[in-house]
Amino acid sequence: MNEKMKVLIVDDERVVREGCHRVLTGKGYDALMAENGQEAMNILAGKGADIILLDLKMPVMSGEEVLEKTQSLYPDIPVIIITGHGTIDSAVDCMKKGAYDFITKPFQVDQFLMTVNRAAEKRLLEIKARQFQRENIRNLYDLNLEKSRLKTIINCMANGVMVTNRNLEVVLHNPALMRLLEVREPMENPFDVSRIVRDNGLLSMLEGIQKGSAAEQAVISQEIGAGKNALRAVSAPVFDPDGDVVGTVTVLEDITAFKELDEMKSDFVSMVAHELRSPLSAIRQQNSVLYEGLAGPLEGKQKELLERGIQKIDQLLELINNLLDISRIEAGKAVQRKIPLDLGPIIRDAVSLMEAKAREHGIKLLCSFQDLKPLQADAEGIREVISNLITNAINYSPEGGKVSISARGLGEYLELVVEDTGVGIPEEELPKIFDKFYRVKHPKTRKVMGTGLGLAIVKGIVDAHQGTISVESVPEEGTRFRILLPLISSDR
Ligand SMILES: Nc1ncnc2c1ncn2[C@@H]1O[C@H](COP(=O)(O)OP(=O)(O)OP(=O)(O)O)[C@@H](O)[C@H]1O
Ligand SMILES: [Mg+2]
């Protein structure tokens, strides 16, 4: 406390009053004086005091009477009784009535100060305790307010919120969650998460996060279905201060309307692409007839122009085919015929189809197999994956490069790797290359024609086989795409 302690001296003897006043102010106290009980009560009501020094024998109002009044009005202020030798009994009586201590007149300065100091300490402790208590109450109040505010916010959110504990029991959820998951009956926390989440993908993701296996990835996002709703679930682990996973938080967003719009867009693109493909193919065919000279001989310049036209038409047809592939993949219709397949011959065919292109670019194509086992797959899809990866490897490698394709059985998976010694991809671009229409800007590959759909198609096909694709790359050294396809894929 920075303020001085206020000591009120109540004594009818001026000498005593002033003596005490001198000693106390000399020791840093703020001393106030009253010569009778009434005056003392007035000061207490006005300025107040921290300690009272009270003479028992006074006119107007006796010390006992003042003590009684202060005890009932100001029970926290310690009262020290000043008493003569002959009246120790009454001082003891006063102690019984609640006085803090007494001193006998005439008193020694040391003893007097010790008594006052003790009373001051007691008073200070009490003030501090009171302050602490007040703060505590305020903190509890704030906490409660904060809690109810949070609860209101979570309950009003349009997104579903779900928090689970170590045992994958729901410990917090909001009305939006129940609405999005189409759960009608009210649930009492905690309850098993599988009682409201039916989607196996989300359930196993939450299990993975809880076990810590998926936790390195801070946030995991996936699309799930619930009744007629399409939802995006974004899940993250909850850590305790030691860094252990103690639960999960999932936020659900309704993306039904977005999905519908996306479907309409895909339908539109695929319709337009279809409408363009037939006339373009017809034009391509007629131009070929002209180019071959089957409709009459052509001169050098005419032939050259026609050739360039045909090349452009081929690029357009390629784009249209890619667009059709993508919209088929997005509609979930990309991989429809999965049959037991031996990948060896398929890969070998796909590679030999690329050999001419590789030679044209001065690139060596290598191919190797090991422990191949049959798997359930769509042959057309796998061919597309391989030809896209090899085309990229050739397109984005300088002359004299090497492209190797290898396939091998790896436990429950088939591993397919396409590796090149090309220009590579900067690390910050890697997460984006599987996006539709994304192309890396690189001075050496500026002339390579493309639409940025190839890898999106590859990823779509791999996903439809419940496989995974990953990429590693060192700029100016090369790139390595690795695909893992589960050997028993369809009924997983
Ligand atoms: N092997 C590779 N080496 C270096 N960069 C690559 C490699 N493969 C892909 N890329 C980069 O990733 C981008 C996306 O590849 P993607 O196959 O999706 O599209 P694209 O080849 O540009 O066009 P297309 O739709 O005709 O395939 C490429 O533009 C290229 O910048
Ligand atoms: Mg490509």
Q: For residue range 319-373, what is the model confidence (pLDDT) as tens digits?
A: 899 888 888 888 777 776 788 888 889 989 999 999 999 999 999 999 999 988 8
SS3 of residue 407 by DSSP: strand
Ligand nearest to the CA of 439: 1
Q: Dump pLDDT digits (tens) for 50-63.
A: 999 999 888 878 88
Q: pLDDT tens-digit profile of 26-51?
A: 999 999 999 999 999 999 999 999 99
pTM: 0.58
Percent of the chain whose pLDDT exceeds 90: 61
Flag whether pLDDT at 100 surpasses 80.
yes
**pLDDT exceeds 70 at position 490:** no
Per-residue confidence band for 3, with pLDDT thresholds at 50, 70 and 90: confident
Q: Which CATH class is domain 157-254?
A: alpha beta
Using pLDDT thresholds of 50, 70 and 90, give the confidence band for residue 87: confident
| Ligand with smallest separation from the Cα of 418 | 1
Q: Would you state the CATH architecture of domain 339-486?
A: 2-Layer Sandwich (3.30)
* pLDDT, averaged across the chain: 90
Dist. CA 102–CA 119, nearest whole Å: 11
Q: What is the mean pLDDT of residues 453-466?
A: 92
pLDDT for the residue numbered 488: 67
| Mutation probe of ligand 1 site: the residue of 396, 436, 438, 444 with most atoms within 8 A of C-beta | 396
Ligand nearest to the CA of 445: 1
Protein residue whose Cα sits closest to atom 28 of ligand 1? 439
Q: Is the CB of 350 under 6 A from ligand 1?
A: no
Query: 259-330 domain in CATH 1.10.287?
Result: yes
Q: What topology does CATH give the domain 6-131?
A: Rossmann fold (3.40.50)
Given a cut of 60, whether residue 2 has pLDDT beyond it is no
- In sequence order, the 6+-apart residues with CB closer than 8 A to the CB of 246 are 165, 166, 238, 239, 240
Give the model's pLDDT for residue 489.
43
State the distance from the centre of ligand 2 to the C-alpha of 167, rounded, in angstroms.
Answer: 45
Report the atom number in ligand 1 closest to the C-alpha of 434. 18
Contacts of 377 (CB under 8 A, 6+ apart): 335, 338, 339, 341, 343, 465, 485, 489
Q: What are the residue boundaries of the structural domains of the chain, listed by start?
A: 6-131, 157-254, 259-330, 339-486
Nearest CA to ligand 1 atom 12: 433
Q: Is the CB of 385 under 6 A from ligand 1?
A: no
Q: Measure 394 CA to ligand 2 centroid, in angstroms.
A: 10
pLDDT score at 59: 80
**CB 323 near ligand 1, within 6 Å:** no
Res 445: pLDDT: 84
CA dist 193 and 489 (Å) reads: 27
Percent of the residues in the chain that have a pLDDT greater than 70, as a whole number: 97
Instruction: Provide mean pLDDT across the span 423-442.
Output: 93
- CA–centroid distance, residue 388 to ligand 2 (Å): 6
Helices (H) and strands (E) in the chain, counts: 12, 18
C-beta of residue 134 within 8 angstroms of C-beta of residue 153? no
Rounded Cα gap, residues 167 and 189, in angstroms = 13
Question: Rounded CA gap, 152 and 143, in Å?
Answer: 14
State whether the beta carbon of 425 lies less than 6 angstroms from ligand 1: yes
Q: Quick check: CB of 484 below 6 Å from ligand 1? A: no
Residue nearest to atom 10 of ligand 1 (CA): 392
Tens of pLDDT, residue by residue over 440-457, are: 998 888 888 888 999 999
pLDDT digits (tens, 9 = 90+) for 280-320: 999 999 999 999 999 899 998 999 999 999 999 999 999 89
